[in-house]
């Protein structure tokens, strides 16, 4: 009987990931600590929105809205903790924008970017799982 071995092929140094429209992000490894920090921040933000009311009139009592908002808050929080620098992001006149937490959150407001970031950030973990290692 063959014994399986967990292969820890997860990055330990920052890496560049490619997003649509020629946007590139340099991110720190998505470790348990980074994910836990993002979860904590997104839960705190969700509670604040629930207490204050969501701008734009979405009904937070609707389970689909709550789930969508939960993902949006989580991906923004993860990006704020993980993104170190970027390329290919500019203002309406085409001038490069600085990579600040506020600008990272604005980038994650674009569904195409948020979805691609989420997939790319977790790709190393998914690859380990796909090999049957986890």
The pTM of the full predicted model, rounded to 2 decimals, is 0.81
91 vs 49, residue with greater confidence: 91
Q: Please, which residues bridge with residue 26 across strands?
A: 16, 85
Average pLDDT over residues 53-82: 85
Q: Are 117 and 82 in contact (CB under 8 A)?
A: no
Average pLDDT over residues 88-96: 94
Asked whether the predicted pLDDT for residue 9 surpasses 70, the reply is: no
Provide the pLDDT confidence category of residue 134 given band limits of 50, 70 and 90. Answer: very low
Q: Are 94 and 88 in contact (CB under 8 A)?
A: no
Task: Return the percentage of the chain with pLDDT > 90, whole number.
Answer: 60
Q: Rounded to whole angstroms, how far apart are CA atoms 65 and 71?
A: 10
């Amino acid at each position: 009987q063959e014994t399986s071995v967990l292969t820890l092929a997860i990055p330990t140094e920052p890496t560049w990931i490619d997003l649509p429209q020629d946007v590139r992000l340099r991110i720190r490894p998505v470790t348990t600590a980074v994910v836990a920090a993002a979860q904590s921040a997104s839960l705190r933000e969700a509670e604040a929105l629930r207490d204050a009311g969501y701008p734009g009139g979405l009904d937070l009592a609707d389970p689909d809205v709550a789930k969508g908002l939960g993902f949006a808050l989580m991906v923004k929080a993860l990006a704020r903790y993980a993104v170190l620098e970027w390329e290919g992001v500019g203002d309406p006149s085409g001038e490069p924008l600085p990579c600040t937490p506020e600008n990272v959150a604005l980038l994650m407001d674009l569904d195409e970017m948020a979805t691609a970031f989420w997939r790319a950030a977790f790709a190393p973990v998914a690859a380990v799982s796909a090999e049957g290692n986890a």
